[in-house]
Amino acid sequence: MNAFAPPQPALAQPGATRRFSHVAIVGKYHAPGSRDAVEALAQFLHSEGCDVSLEAETALNTDLTHHPALSVESIGRQCDLALVVGGDGTMLGLGRQLARFNVPVVGINQGRLGFITDIRWDTFAEVLRPMLHGLYTEERRTLMAAKVMRDGRCVFEATAMNDVVVSRGSVASMIEMRVEVDGHFVANQRADGLIIASPTGSTAYALSAGGPLIHPAIEGWLMVPIAPHTLSNRPVVLPSQSEVAVEIVSGRDASANFDMQSLASLLHGDRIVVRRSEHGLRLLHPMGWSYFDTLREKLHWNEGV
């Protein structure tokens, strides 16, 4: 399957019993009720004949010591499926780390929105059972590889699944950024910041800044200005093979963050360089899953109709 092809159904072979034998659970362990949720999921997996391990921090913070505890790297090397119990933030954190191991991930939503953790907690058993036996839809989500260059050397680097955001600090003034795509000058932009988002991230910060939604099967980046000084400065969709560079020209307390979880303070002359990561996240959905069903539910389309 092409690494960034549209979602495709996977079907169990005749006579197949269980496709996934060693399953890891990653929980949003600081959320109320997380211990009971992780334990209930582990018991369900055992009843389906799966070996179960817990991500090390999940095991430590839920005090569930009767399951093997594994680091994320060990999950990537030893498990053939990871279940994320929480919200999209939990999924983003794990997805960035697991992508390089090519381990498929399923999201069970205990958060608020759940664009990529799309299985409701109250239905997890009935939905997961056929998935464990090979009946699911699989898609790949692109990741971004980003770095901060200062005086010709890399001073910070990170991977992002949603977006890379360059923004001003708490000072009530704009920053000026020189933007290049594939080495070609685009513009000097004065704004509160600039968002470079993947299709996954098009439903996050980029959406609230006025950007369009991008279907996850599209190989593209979204470049969205945050409160630009020039109102004709509009969102632009770029090929995901493009390299985007943003140089800080002027402004105070500028910073770059990556999925809102990694942060780098910026100086004038710093360049934030973003390109497509060589890794993509394998995301599994129930059979019949539709991206548009997710949008309709999470964005409350058709309400009042």
Classified as helix, coil or strand, 289 is: coil
Close Cβ partners of 83 (under 8 Å, ≥ 6 residues apart): 23, 24, 25, 26, 41, 45, 105, 106, 107, 108, 128
CATH 3.40.50.10330 in the chain is located at 17-133
Cα 168 to Cα 226: distance, rounded to the nearest angstrom: 10
Which pLDDT does position 142 carry in this prediction? 92
- Two tokens, residue 253: 């307390």
- Two tokens, residue 115: 């664009």
Residue-averaged pLDDT of the chain: 90
Question: pLDDT-derived band of residue 96, with 50, 70 and 90 as boundaries?
Answer: very high
Close Cβ partners of 215 (under 8 Å, ≥ 6 residues apart): 199, 291
Active-site residue, from 51, 63, 88, 182: 88
For residue range 249-263, what is the model confidence (pLDDT) as tens digits? 999 889 999 998 888
195-226 per-residue burial string, b: 16 or more CB within 10 A, e: under 16: bbbbbbbbbbbbbebebeebebebbbbbbbbb
Domain 17-133, classified CATH 3.40.640.10, yes or no = no
Question: pLDDT-derived band of residue 244, with 50, 70 and 90 as boundaries?
Answer: very high
Q: What are phi and psi of 43, to 5 degrees?
A: -65, -40
Helices (H) then strands (E): counts for the chain:
7, 19
CATH fold of 143-278: Tumour Suppressor Smad4 (2.60.200)
Active site (annotated) includes residue 88: yes
CATH 2.60.200.30 in the chain is located at 143-278
For residue range 191-233, what is the model confidence (pLDDT) as tens digits? 999 999 999 999 999 999 999 999 999 999 999 999 999 989 9
Percentages of the chain per state (helix, strand, coil), in multiples of 5: 25, 40, 40
